Amino acid sequence: MVVLVTGASGQLGQAIQAIAPKYKQVQFHFTTSAEADITNTSSLKTTFNRVKPDFCINAAAYTAVDKAESEPEKAHLINVTGAKNLAEICKEYGTTLVHISTDFVFDGNKNTPYDEEDATHPQGVYGATKRAGEEAIEAILEAHYIVRTSWLYSEYGNNFMKTMIRLGNERDVLSVVNDQTGTPTNANDLADAILQIITSDKKAYGIYHYSNEGVATWYDFAKKIFEVNNITINLQPISTAQYPTPAKRPVYSVMDKSKIKQVVGVDIPQWEASLTNLTKNS
């Protein structure tokens, strides 16, 4: 089985590379935007001609949530045009696409976990472009999996966990938002879930939700990060109103993972356990 991974230098791309040796039956081809630019169809065709993938994992995305508000064209180019280009070329080559999306497609007005059938209503440019990318794929390619995730962190790239560790070592006091609720997701667990989807080869196409189990606010997440890393800091809970950002975040974006557990048989760890495990092993 041949699997092409775009966005290999990003957080998820690096997590997939780290666990790839576990999947002996898969021949991986990891590409950066310099090697396979999803916004450039001729670049993609060159790569697809060379690799001839059975599956393509699209880990390439514009993910700068706040910056997207001032760079809507760039976010659209990568998250919408890029997704559309991949769907078209996957259709041409008979490749199944696994595309990564986000909890930001929801407005956060629910107070129970979002399932795959819930109506989307993104609140900012990032969420809107990710949803438009989903729709482009759905319209073009039957053989697709769209995996929505949330609050991604790992030992790779830039993320909330690494920022908290850095700030915790620099400061005595830190304020973190305590009225946005979701679920942290270890990128290594997400990578494993994606590869389970591919290797199960059930052809149960469509949208899936994946995050770690449990519920947290950003304050809860930060508190646990400091605890497991033995960082002593005066951590203060604040409201979203006290920490305004260019992009509006969903107030509540916990996702229901019943579908991926039932269809693929994925075993999902609790977020606290996964964070602790990552800290112990890094």
Active-site residues, by number, are 126
CA pair distance 150, 256, nearest whole angstrom: 12
d(CA 113, CA 210): 12
Alpha carbon distance 190, 271 (integer Å): 12
The label of the residue with tokens 């998250």 reads 79
Helix H or strand E encompassing 181 = strand 181-182
Q: Among positive and negative, which fits the CA dihedral 139, 53, 128, 108?
A: positive
Number of Cβ atoms within 10 Å of the Cβ of 163: 13
- Closest C-alpha to 10, from 159, 132, 182, 165: 159
Q: Which two structure tokens, joined as six digits, stand for 97?
A: 């696409």
DSSP string, 193-257: HHHHHHHHT----EEEE---BS-EEHHHHHHHHHHHTT---EEEEE-GGGS--SSPPPSB--B--
